Amino acid sequence: MAQLFGPRFGFVFRLATIAALLGVVSAALLWRGLTTYRAGPLDPIEQPVPFSHKHHVGDDGIDCRYCHSAVETSAFAGIPPLSTCMSCHSQLFTGQPALAPLVNAYLSGVALRWQRVHKLPDFAYFNHSIHIAKGIGCASCHGEVDRMPLTWRVAPLTMRWCLDCHRAPAGELRPADQVFNLHWQAPDRRALGARLLRAYHIDERRLTDCSVCHR
């Protein structure tokens, strides 16, 4: 009986199989990269409810601490419970379609799944309360949120970006009563920063120790 396949068929077949598998894996990785898009700075983050800081903060003048109630005492700024939202929206705009997920979640007791806008890797430690206590304003990291109809990230949150501030914090320091003022400007930032470094007892020599951010 004549030989059906040549002596090199096995090698060619294995090579073709490997090439096909690599093609499938490459296609899967490409598809994953296209479908798991990660928003960067200035990209609005889609939320279950189109919450507008511009409306709530800019137009209505709601203080940051009304919703982010733990920001002065906790590492995490806090996400307001639905009862906080419904303290207004049980009376205002309750029937609006855009608020239906909020109202339904409140009535059912199932929490909304908000998408994180600012997220650090697990190996980086950040504490909101100490930054607030030492005169770092909300706008230094979050930008002027009162002008954002949808919220986006304005800072890269890279290690280099954080270290630039830790190496020269005076330029970002504010008086305690201006920390939550998103548009505050110092008349003489350099002189004020030097005074605030002393007033807040900030030791610049320790701010770049590894243990400050990596614990």
Tens digit of pLDDT per residue, the chain (215 long)?
445 556 666 666 677 788 777 777 666 555 554 444 344 556 888 999 999 999 999 999 999 999 999 999 999 998 999 999 999 998 888 889 999 999 999 999 998 999 999 989 999 999 999 999 999 999 999 999 999 999 999 999 999 999 999 999 999 999 999 999 999 998 888 899 999 999 999 999 999 999 999 98
Q: Quote the pTM value.
A: 0.76
Structural domain total, the chain = 2
Residues 131 and 66 in one domain: yes
Domain co-membership, 97 together with 122? no
Closest CA to 49 of 105, 94, 98: 98
- Is 123 found in the same domain as 190? yes
> Both 104 and 201 in a single domain?
no
Res 81: pLDDT: 92
- Do 138 and 63 share a structural domain? yes
Residue 34 has what pLDDT?
43
**DSSP code for 44:** P
Q: Is there a domain that residue 88 lies in?
A: yes
90 and 150, same domain (yes or no): no
Does residue 107 sit in the same domain as residue 196?
Answer: no
Q: Kindly state whether residue 203 falls inside one of the protein's structural domains.
A: yes
Q: Which two tokens stand for residue 174?
A: 């504010």
Same domain, 131 and 86: no
Quick one: 128 and 197 in the same domain? Answer: yes
Q: Is 42 left (phi over 0), alpha (psi -120 to 50) or beta?
A: left
Identify the burial level of 45 via C-beta atoms within 10 angstroms of its C-beta, where 0-12 means exposed, 13-18 middle and 19 or more buried: middle
Q: Are residues 165 and 68 in the same domain?
A: yes
Range of the domain at 185: 53-79+117-213
Based on the fold, state whether residues 108 and 195 are members of the same structural domain.
Answer: no
Question: Which pLDDT belongs to residue 187?
Answer: 83
Q: How far apart are CA 25 and CA 7, in angstroms?
A: 29
